[in-house]
Structure 1
Amino acid sequence: MKNTLSRGLTNLLPMVLSLWLFWSLFISLDGLGHLLLDIVELDNTFVGAGFILVAVLVFISGLLFSFSPFAWLYGWLEQQLMKFPLFKSVYGSIRDIAGLMKRDGKPKNQKTVLIKQANGGYVVGFIMNQTAPKPLTDALPEGEWVPVLFQLSYQMAGVTSLVKREDLIEVDWSFEDAMRFNLTAGISAKSITAVNDKKAIKTANSEQDAPADKPQ
């Protein structure tokens, strides 16, 4: 009985929570769209019309940002608002997080690395940028220092440390899979399976490419 309930909860809970989260997001955006429709006195609409309106507006804004005059105007407005300390802190954090979501067409600076600890163990970290800020490098001893993020399990927070590049071990592991591994403290079976599958494919390819032994 206990195992059956546990198995049902384990399988249903992620699906239910995900659907609830996306449904809540849909309702919120739909409500925002209906507020815009009410402004132009189009209140007799179906459920989802507000969501469609918001999606269309976001798409149009994406097209506008491809034009230099609009992008320049938005950049100027952004610089003016960034003069306010509180807005700068909140907006800057949200913008940086949103920047992590847009990875297509950009060099992927976020690399997975291992850092050896004093007790002989290793910690999974992420190179978030290839260079550290100049005020920090000026204060640190000579060497090539890079900012490395150590993700804390079960939360988005983490600790950023400056580590010498020569002390890093780069890992052939995608940022997304390694992040999932860290966030779930290694419980995520998907990230582990992805790594094992990749190793198996590499091993199979190396065996195929290896020259066959000559008959004696």
Structure 2
Amino acid sequence: MKKTLTRGLMNLLPMVLSLWLFWSLFISLDGLGRLLFALVGLDELYIGAGFMLVAVIVFIAGLLFSVSPIVWLYGWLERQLMKFPLFKSVYGSIRDIAGLMNRDGKPKTQKTVLVKQANGGYVVGFIMSDETPSPLTQALPEGDWVPVLFQLSYQMAGVTTLVKREELIAVDWSFEDAMRFNLTAGISTSNKAKPKN
């Protein structure tokens, strides 16, 4: 009985939580769109109309950001707001995360690597960028240093360490699968990693 309940829970829980998360996002965006409709006097609308309005607004914004004057104006506004320390910290973090999700047409710099530990074991890490900030390279001993993220299990947090490139073992493993492996403490093993020769 206990095994059957556990099996049912383990199979249903990820699906139910995923559907609930996407449904909550849909309802939130739909509510925002309906609020915008209400501002112009359109109250009685079907569910989904608000979501479609938000999607259209986002699409139009994408088109506008391909026009140079709009990009310049937005960049100017962004620079003015970045003068406020708290806004700079919050906005900068959100912008960087959004940049990670939007990698269309850009080379994927996030590479999966293994780093040898003092006890002889290895830890899975990710090269997040091929360039190290200038102040760090000047402070470090001579060498080709790269920032490597070590993701903490069951958390979105991680530890970024600077490691010499020659001490890294490249792994033929996608960033997404390796990240899933780290986040679940090795439970998720959908794809096996293959060290590069």
Aligned mates of 2:103, 2:172 — CA distance in 1: 18
| 2:65 pairs with 1:31 | no
Partner residue in 1 for 2:16: 16
Q: Deviation at 1:38?
A: 0.7
Give the aligned residue type for 1:136.
Answer: L
Mapping of residues 124-163 of structure 1, within 5 Å: 124-163=124-163
How far apart are residue 6 of structure 1 and its match?
A: 0.4
1:65-102 Cα distance to aligned partner (Å, 9 max, x none): 11111111111111111110000000000011111111
Q: SS in structure 2 opposite 1:195?
A: coil
Q: CA deviation at 1:44?
A: 1.6
2:73 aligned residue: 73
**Residue segments in structure 2 that go unaligned for 5+ positions in a row:** none
1:42 matches 2:58? no
Q: Name the Cα RMSD after superposition.
A: 1.0
Q: Give the structure-1-normalised TM-score.
A: 0.88
State the 1:104 CA deviation: 1.5
Q: Distance in 2 between matches of 1:86 and 1:36?
A: 28
CA shift at 1:189, angstroms? 3.3
Q: Give the CA deviation at 1:131.
A: 1.4
Q: How much does 1:20 deviate?
A: 0.7
TM-score by length of 2: 0.96
1:195 matched to 2:192: yes
Q: Which runs of 5+ in 1 are unaligned?
A: 200-216
CA distance in 2, matches of 1:47, 1:171: 47
The yes-or-no answer on 1:170 pairing with 2:167 is: no
Distance in 1, matches of 2:174 and 2:156, equals: 18
| 3-state secondary structure, aligned to 1:163 | strand
In structure 2, give the amino acid aligned to 1:49. Answer: A
State which structure, 1 or 2, has the greater radius of gyration over its C-alpha atoms.
1
Report the Cα offset of residue 133 of structure 1. 0.8
Question: For residues 130 and 115 of structure 1, what CA distance do their matches in structure 2 show?
Answer: 16
Letter in 1 for 2:11: N
The letter for the 1-side match of 2:49 is: A
Q: Distance in 2 between matches of 1:29 and 1:149?
A: 33
Please give the secondary structure, in 2, of the residue aligned with 1:189: coil
What is the match of residue 106 of structure 1?
106
Q: What is the identity, as a one-letter code, of the residue corresponding to 2:7?
A: R
Structure 2 counterpart SS, 1:15: helix
User: How far is 1:107 from its partner?
Assistant: 1.1
Letter in 2 for 1:108: K
Distance in 2 between the 1:175 and 1:68 partners?
33
Give the count of matched residue pairs: 194
Q: In proportion to residue count, which structure has more helix?
A: 1
